[in-house]
Structure 1
Amino acid sequence: MMHKKFNLTTQIIIGMVVGIGLGLVGGQQVAGIKIVGDLFLRLIQMAVIPLIFCAVIEAIGSLPMKQLGRLGLKTAAWFTVTTILAACIGLVAGWWFNPGHGLHLSLAGTNAKQLLAHQPSLQNTILGFFPTNIFEALAKGNTIQIIVFALFFGIALSKANQNQHYQTLLTGIRQINQLLIDLITLVMKLAPIGIGALMAWVTATNGAKVILPLSKFLILFGAGTLLFLFGLFAMITIRAHIPLRGILHGFSRIIIVAMTTTSSAASLSVEMADAEKRLGVHKQISELVLPLGMALNSNGLAMYLALACVTMSQFYGLAISPIIMIKIVALSIVACLGTVVVPGGGLVALAIIVPSIGLPLESIGLLAGIDWFSGIFRTVLNVVGDTTTAIMIAADEDQLDRQVYQTKA
């Protein structure tokens, strides 16, 4: 008799449901299972810093200098603007609608209040983005400083490697990055158990009231996704002078594949084909923007992280200052770098950003339980954001074939 093997997503959902049931039935008697979830989160977290460091260097260092020129600057500008807008939508939605209210988690044993209460000035916050000692930043796990260094190192490597003199170094970094991805893939096999244990602890401690904030979070994220998509389509309709009907037709397959695979990497081939054939983007533009966007740009993840941070702060009854809001937006942007193609990228990115603003790491367990549903919205925003950027750059460079829209208008 053949036994059906469930994929990891199904296993995580089963683990979440079993964990909630165990917590509701067992109550405080099963609260000790939290240690299993904590071990899983630590295993994820241990590979995050080297992964981000190597992934950013590889992504930037692999680009020829000519691609880091005019087109590279335009691409980076569009990526930055759309990602900031996405993060701000997530931040405002969380602040306005309070999805985390109704659930009160304990801060016992954490230093979150102190970290959130004693924040540096805006000037010192900006200066804090730049490291004085990269080894100190690595030792302390200062994510923003590490990414800033990696960006500059990647640019220097790209420039120095024009004649392939540093190809061995680039190959070594690429191999280390792949090994780290393999390590996280291995750790993610434990996700059903780890997430199930965390959900059991949360429900054992707080009861069934934990379900409502998670539902509110998903509804808000879905509404934010629709709002952002409307804004992107309106922008390219007006700025690139192309009909909305043609845009909807051109993006239809891309959105369907993104929703069903919940993977930016799995969507890339369809994204590139349709960008050229159905959306009129010249091959030169699509081959630069779309793979780079998959590795370095993530509108969906930025919105998710910003909304998640506000929601988690509300779980603990913590007020968020304007400085913390700026930090959340900045972290939501930089945490996207290199994590989009990693298995469980949303969970990995949360492991980067949550400790950085002083929130307890175990709070990730709540949103990890609904990560697959969140992944649908994240992936749609990611691939549509990348493709929209490609259309805008193609229009600016006069490399957009509008004939394909006329046939669908």
Structure 2
Amino acid sequence: MKKINFSLQIVIATVLAILSGLVFGEAMEKISFLGDIFLRLIQMSVVLLVMTAIIESVGAIEPGEFGKIGLKAIILFVITTVYSAVIGVFAVNMIKPGVGVIGVEPAAYQGEIFNIRIQDLITSFIPRNVFQSMAEGNMIQIIVFSIFFGMAVSLLRKKHKEPEIYRVVVSFGKVIMEIIKKIMLFAPVGIFALLSSITGSMGTAIIMPLLKYLFTMFFATFFIFTTFLILVSLYAKVNPFRLIMKMKDTIIVSVTTTSSAISLPVQMSDCEHKIGISSRISKLVNSLAMSLNSDGLALTLSISTITIAQFFGIELSLQQQIVIVAVSTLSTLGNLLVPGGALVAMAIALNMTGLPLEGIALIAGVDWFAGIARTLLNVINDVLCTFYIAVSEREFDREIFDKN
């Protein structure tokens, strides 16, 4: 018998949860503890997962090989990721998918990150004691330490081909990844328990926010990639419609698989053989983008966190939403390539901001559909960043672009 894939399991769990909540009502609250267990299991491994993923990603970049092109790529990745998170904030404030839901009790804000001055906020990003940061689950401080650790490992490559500490981190990361994979097997049960409990207490009022959330995701995705497509096309002096057609195989694979990793070989092929980007630029920039450029995830996190805040009646100031942009950007580092990786990243972002983790159940129900928009934005922007760098480095073959 063929095994049902993870995404389909989540969709089935969501449908059954909504139906069960509508039929059995508040009686479904009796199984909500199963959802709470699922959330705790995710939290249990998140700190170590983030640390190993970032150290491995940053440490894998050899300084000598990295050079000007790699630095230019990272600057571009930061710009596009921040822009995506900002557009997400604008879109969710304009459409307001989580506002006005009847039957939800307002949640108390549990964090401290929002309630300090900007200067103190920036200072608070630097850990005094990384072990204390780990014990307190201070994700921003953990990410900052992990970046420095990864950079140090990268510099050690000048003396050693693969430092022992790097092999230890990679091996440890694989163990943590296996733990997360096993936890995610429990995701359909956890999401069913949480969402059926919410639906049981709210009834049909839960459905409209889910549809509005998806509309917000697709609207923002279209706006972002259209903006970048036009800007890069103008810079390279090519027809934007012709450029998007060059990426059609990449687009088809990304939409049908919702996987950036699976799309990568097709992505490189389109870059080199259809667009005319040199093999050197294509391999380096696309590989870096795989781990470090997650515009779709940044968009998902900014929209999801504010939707969850709206859903629970938590008012967010302009300063708080700026923090969410920073959190959404930082949470994409190390790009978690596991089933339900976006849900794990969402848990990280909610941990950072102190917003209710229970909101994951609401978003998880439609995350497979959101994943289409997320993956599409990831791969298109990866190709556009690679194309921009190729043109700037004069490693773009216009004859290949015009011929194919």
Greater mean deviation of Cα atoms: 117-126 or 94-103: 117-126
In the other structure, the counterpart of 1:90 is: 88
In the other structure, the counterpart of 1:403 is: 399
Distance between the aligned counterparts of 1:269 and 1:79, measured in 2?
20
**Large movers: runs of 4+ above 6 Å:** none
How large is the Cα RMSD of the aligned pairs? 1.5
Greater mean deviation of Cα atoms: 81-90 or 331-340: 331-340
2:250 to 249, 254, 265: 254
Deviation of 1:81 after TM superposition, in Å, equals 0.4
Greater mean deviation of Cα atoms: 166-175 or 44-53: 166-175
Q: Quick one: which amino acid aligns to residue 188 of structure 1?
A: M
Residues paired across the two proteins, number: 403
CA gap of 1:116–1:307, structure 2 versus 1, over 3 A, is: farther
Distance between the aligned counterparts of 2:267 and 2:2, measured in 1?
31
Deviation of 1:343 after TM superposition, in Å, equals 2.0
In the other structure, the counterpart of 1:346 is: 342
CA gap of 1:117–1:139, structure 2 versus 1, over 3 A, is: closer
Paired residues of 2:114 and 2:320 also in contact (CA < 8 A):
no
In the other structure, the counterpart of 1:326 is: 322
Greater mean deviation of Cα atoms: 247-256 or 117-126: 117-126
Distance between the aligned counterparts of 1:178 and 1:290, measured in 2?
23
Paired residues of 2:106 and 2:313 also in contact (CA < 8 A):
no
Deviation of 1:250 after TM superposition, in Å, equals 1.2
In the other structure, the counterpart of 2:60 is: 62
Deviation of 1:243 after TM superposition, in Å, equals 1.9
Deviation of 1:355 after TM superposition, in Å, equals 2.4
Deviation of 1:45 after TM superposition, in Å, equals 1.8
Deviation of 1:260 after TM superposition, in Å, equals 0.3
2:299 to 280, 289, 303: 303
Q: Quick one: which amino acid aligns to residue 293 of structure 1?
A: A
Distance between the aligned counterparts of 1:285 and 1:181, measured in 2?
30
Deviation of 1:52 after TM superposition, in Å, equals 0.8
Deviation of 1:92 after TM superposition, in Å, equals 0.6
Residue 220 (1) aligns with residue 216 (2) = yes
- Counterparts of residues 123-162 of structure 1 (less than 5 Å): 123-162=119-158
Paired residues of 1:34 and 1:197 also in contact (CA < 8 A):
yes
Deviation of 1:165 after TM superposition, in Å, equals 6.3
Q: Quick one: which amino acid aligns to residue 272 of structure 2?
A: E
Paired residues of 2:28 and 2:193 also in contact (CA < 8 A):
no
Distance between the aligned counterparts of 2:268 and 2:113, measured in 1?
46
Distance between the aligned counterparts of 1:211 and 1:389, measured in 2?
37
Paired residues of 2:139 and 2:351 also in contact (CA < 8 A):
no
Distance between the aligned counterparts of 1:168 and 1:204, measured in 2?
53
Q: Quick one: which amino acid aligns to residue 373 of structure 1?
A: F
In the other structure, the counterpart of 2:7 is: 9
Deviation of 1:102 after TM superposition, in Å, equals 2.7
Deviation of 1:57 after TM superposition, in Å, equals 0.7
Deviation of 1:115 after TM superposition, in Å, equals 3.6
In the other structure, the counterpart of 2:362 is: 366
What secondary structure is seen at the aligned counterpart in 2 of 1:361? Answer: coil
What secondary structure is seen at the aligned counterpart in 2 of 1:278? Answer: helix
Structure 1: 5+ residue stretches without partners: none
Q: Quick one: which amino acid aligns to residue 192 of structure 1?
A: P
Greater mean deviation of Cα atoms: 236-245 or 378-387: 236-245
Distance between the aligned counterparts of 1:343 and 1:226, measured in 2?
25
What secondary structure is seen at the aligned counterpart in 1 of 2:101? Answer: coil
Residue 200 (1) aligns with residue 200 (2) = no
Distance between the aligned counterparts of 2:111 and 2:3, measured in 1?
44
| Percent of matched pairs sharing the same residue | 39
CA gap of 1:184–1:404, structure 2 versus 1, over 3 A, is: same
Paired residues of 1:116 and 1:324 also in contact (CA < 8 A):
no
Distance between the aligned counterparts of 2:382 and 2:272, measured in 1?
13
Q: Quick one: which amino acid aligns to residue 106 of structure 1?
A: E
In the other structure, the counterpart of 2:259 is: 263
1:274 to 258, 270, 275: 270
Q: Quick one: which amino acid aligns to residue 209 of structure 1?
A: A
Q: Quick one: which amino acid aligns to residue 139 of structure 1?
A: A
Distance between the aligned counterparts of 1:116 and 1:329, measured in 2?
16
In the other structure, the counterpart of 1:80 is: 78
Distance between the aligned counterparts of 2:80 and 2:153, measured in 1?
27
Paired residues of 1:15 and 1:193 also in contact (CA < 8 A):
yes
Deviation of 1:163 after TM superposition, in Å, equals 2.5
Paired residues of 1:246 and 1:406 also in contact (CA < 8 A):
no
- Counterparts of residues 103-122 of structure 1 (less than 5 Å): 103-104=101-102, 105-107=104-106, 111-112=108-109, 115=111, 119-122=115-118
What secondary structure is seen at the aligned counterpart in 1 of 2:275? Answer: coil
Distance between the aligned counterparts of 1:166 and 1:223, measured in 2?
44
Paired residues of 1:339 and 1:348 also in contact (CA < 8 A):
no
Deviation of 1:90 after TM superposition, in Å, equals 0.5
Paired residues of 1:87 and 1:306 also in contact (CA < 8 A):
yes
Greater mean deviation of Cα atoms: 245-254 or 372-381: 245-254
Paired residues of 2:289 and 2:382 also in contact (CA < 8 A):
yes
In the other structure, the counterpart of 1:317 is: 313
Query: TM-score normalized by structure 1?
Result: 0.95
